[in-house]
C-alpha cells in the first residue's frame, strides 16, 4: 500500500516542483528555518534524504519517518541503544518493574477468564531491550502453579538486529546457543531463562497463527504518519522539501493538489490538522482477524488520544524535545496514537476497550498493593526511594499518568461469556470484567 501511494503521489503532484511553502508551525517543532546553522548538522541521513528529494521531489512525512527511523543502513533504530538514561528517551518498563509485572498479571487474568486454553503464544511488537517481556516472564514463573498445564511460547517482532541482540541477552539462557538464520522468516530462536521457546520475526504476518496474546508497548507511536492541513482549497498533505533559502536544511511544504493518502481522511473530519497512520491500520486489521479467528487478545499501551489532537509529531534527543527536521537520524521521531482510528480499523471484527488512562488502568490492576509489598520487603532507603519515584512517574497526571493510555482488542465472545474453544480439560469462562478496564477479579 505504502509503495503504491508514494508512486501515485509522485505521478500526480511531485513531478512538478510547484509546492506551497508551509507557514503553519507545529506545536512541538519548527520548519527549521529559524535554527542557527551551527545546530543543523549534515548527517549521513540528511545527505541521503536531500539526494532522494532532488531525485523525486518532496516526500511525505510518513516516508521521512520511515527513512529516518528504519533505513537499514542509517536508520535511528537500526544501530543504537536509544533507551534509558544514556539514551534519548525512557519507557515505563525502565522506570519500574511493577509496570511489567502488572501486564503479566493482565495476560494471565485474560487467559483464565477465557477458559484456560492448553496453550498460548505471547507476541510482543517492538520489544525494546526486552525489559518488559523479562518482567512479564518473571510473573509467569512466580505463578507457575497457575500456568503449569499451559504450553507457552514467546514471539518477538523486531526489525532491528541490534535490538534483537539486546533482547536475547536480557531474555535467553546463556548456556543454550541461539539458532540464527538471517534468510529465514524466523531469523533467531532460543530458550528463555525460564525454559520457554522464544523466536524473532521481522513482520507480524510471519508469526504463526494460533491462540495468542499480543502486546504493543510504545510501538504504534513510531509508525509513520501522513500529516494533513485544512486550507481554503481543501485538505492538503504536508510534505518535506529542501529549503531553497538555507543550505543543508529541510522545510515543510503543502502539496499543491490532492494526494492519494487523503483517502485515509474521514469525510466528516472537523479538525484543521490531522495525522493518519496507514501502517497502524494494517497491523490492527491483522490483529483483529487473528483474534476473531483463534481467540486471545491484544493490549496496546501508548501515548495517544481518542481523535481529538492535531499536531503531535515531535522528536526526542537526550530526553529533550528536538526539531524533527534537524540532524535526522540522531533523534527519535514519534506521533501520538489516534485510538479512534485504531478502533475504526478493527472494522467491528473484534471488541475494543479504551483508551483508558494509565493511572486508572494500573490502579485497577492493583499497583498500590504491589508497591506496598515491594516497599515493605526492602530495608534499603535507596530502593524505597526508587520505588516511590517510579510510582510517581507512572501515576502522576502531570507525568505519564494521563498522557499514556491502554487500549485492548478482544473477541466479541469475551464480553458475553462464551469461548472459541472449550473442551473437557478447560473451564467454562464467564463474562467477568476485563482487568485494568475494570477492577481486577480472580476466578
- DSSP-assigned letters across all residues of 43-75: -HHHHHHHHHHHHH--EEHHHHHHHHHH-TTT-
For residue 363, what are the contacts with CB-CB under 8 A and spacing of at least 6? Answer: 395
So what's the pLDDT on residue 33? 41
Res 84: pLDDT:
45
| Residue entry with cell 492535531 | 310
pLDDT per residue rounded down to tens, the chain (443 residues): 443 333 333 333 433 345 565 544 343 334 444 444 445 679 999 999 999 999 999 999 999 999 999 999 888 887 665 554 444 446 777 889 999 999 999 999 999 999 999 999 999 999 999 999 999 999 999 999 999 999 999 999 999 998 999 999 999 988 899 999 999 999 999 999 999 999 999 999 999 999 999 999 999 999 999 999 999 999 999 999 999 999 999 999 999 999 999 999 999 999 999 999 999 999 999 999 999 999 999 999 999 999 999 999 999 988 789 999 999 999 999 999 999 999 999 999 999 999 999 999 999 999 999 999 999 999 999 999 999 999 999 999 999 999 999 999 999 999 876 544 444 344 444 468 899 998 765 44
CB 384 within 8 A of CB 378: yes
Give the side-chain half-sphere CA count within 13 A for 290: 24
Is the Cβ–Cβ distance between 365 and 102 less than 8 Å? yes
Q: What is the pLDDT of residue 418?
A: 53
Provide CATH code, domain 53-414: 3.40.50.12710
| Residue 166 to residue 130: CA distance in whole angstroms | 7
Whole-number pLDDT of residue 90: 66
Q: Which residue has the cell 538555507?
A: 246
Please measure the distance between the N-terminal and C-terminal CA atoms of the chain and give it in whole angstroms: 44
The Cα–Cα gap between 312 and 233 comes to: 24
> Using CA atoms, how far apart are residues 84 and 288, in angstroms rounded to an integer?
32
Instruction: Tell me the sheet residues that pair with 191.
Output: 197
pLDDT at 415: 85
Strands (E), 186-331: 186-191, 197-201, 212-217, 226-231, 234-242, 250-254, 273-276, 296-305, 314-317, 320-322
Amino acid at each position: 500500500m505504502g509503495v503504491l501511494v508514494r508512486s501515485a503521489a509522485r505521478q500526480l503532484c511531485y513531478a512538478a516542483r510547484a509546492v506551497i511553502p508551509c507557514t503553519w508551525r507545529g506545536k512541538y517543532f519548527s520548519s527549521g528555518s529559524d535554527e542557527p546553522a551551527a545546530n543543523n548538522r549534515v548527517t549521513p541521513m540528511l545527505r541521503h534524504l536531500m539526494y532522494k528529494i532532488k531525485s523525486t521531489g518532496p516526500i511525505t512525512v510518513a516516508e521521512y519517518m520511515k527513512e529516518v527511523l528504519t533505513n537499514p543502513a542509517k536508520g535511528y533504530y537500526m544501530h543504537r541503544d536509544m533507551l534509558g538514561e544514556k539514551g534519548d528517551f525512557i519507557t515505563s518498563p525502565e522506570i519500574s518493574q511493577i509496570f511489567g509485572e502488572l501486564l503479566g498479571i493482565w495476560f494471565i487474568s485474560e487467559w483464565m477468564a477465557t477458559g484456560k486454553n492448553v496453550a498460548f503464544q505471547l507476541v510482543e511488537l517492538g520489544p525494546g531491550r526486552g525489559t518488559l517481556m523479562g518482567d512479564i516472564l518473571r510473573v509467569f514463573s512466580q505463578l507457575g502453579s497457575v500456568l503449569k498445564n499451559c504450553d507457552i511460547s514467546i514471539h518477538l517482532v523486531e526489525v532491528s538486529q541490534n535490538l534483537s541482540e539486546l533482547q536475547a541477552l536480557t531474555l535467553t539462557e546463556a548456556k543454550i546457543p541461539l539458532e540464527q538464520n538471517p534468510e529465514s522468516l524466523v531469523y533467531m530462536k532460543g530458550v528463555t531463562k525460564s525454559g520457554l521457546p522464544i523466536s524473532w520475526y521481522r513482520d507480524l504476518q510471519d508469526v504463526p497463527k494460533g491462540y495468542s496474546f499480543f502486546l504493543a508497548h510504545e510501538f504504534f507511536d513510531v509508525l509513520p504518519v501522513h500529516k494533513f492541513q485544512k486550507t481554503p482549497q481543501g485538505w492538503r498533505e504536508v510534505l518535506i522539501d529542501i529549503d531553497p533559502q538555507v543550505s543543508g536544511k529541510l522545510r515543510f511544504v503543502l502539496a499543491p493538489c490532492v494526494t492519494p493518502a487523503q483517502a485515509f481522511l474521514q469525510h466528516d473530519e472537523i479538525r484543521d490538522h490531522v495525522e493518519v497512520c496507514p501502517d497502524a491500520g494494517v497491523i490492527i486489521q491483522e490483529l483483529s482477524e487473528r483474534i476473531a479467528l483463534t481467540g486471545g487478545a491484544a493490549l496496546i499501551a501508548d501515548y495517544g488520544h481518542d481523535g481529538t489532537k492535531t499536531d503531535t509529531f515531535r522528536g526526542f534527543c537526550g530526553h529533550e524535545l528536538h526539531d524533527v527536521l534537524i540532524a535526522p537520524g540522531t533523534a527519535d521521531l514519534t506521533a501520538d496514537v489516534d485510538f479512534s482510528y485504531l478502533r475504526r480499523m478493527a472494522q467491528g471484527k473484534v471488541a475494543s476497550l479504551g483508551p483508558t488512562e494509565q493511572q486508572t488502568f494500573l490502579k485497577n490492576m492493583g499497583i498500590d498493593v504491589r508497591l506496598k509489598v515491594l516497599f515493605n520487603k526492602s530495608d534499603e532507603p535507596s530502593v524505597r526511594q526508587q520505588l516511590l519515584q517510579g510510582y510517581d512517574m507512572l501515576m502522576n497526571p502531570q507525568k505519564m499518568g494521563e498522557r499514556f493510555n491502554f487500549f485492548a482488542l478482544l473477541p466479541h465472545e469475551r464480553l458475553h461469556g462464551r469461548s472459541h474453544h472449550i473442551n473437557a480439560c478447560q473451564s467454562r469462562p464467564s463474562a467477568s470484567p476485563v482487568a485494568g478496564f475494570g477492577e481486577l477479579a480472580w476466578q
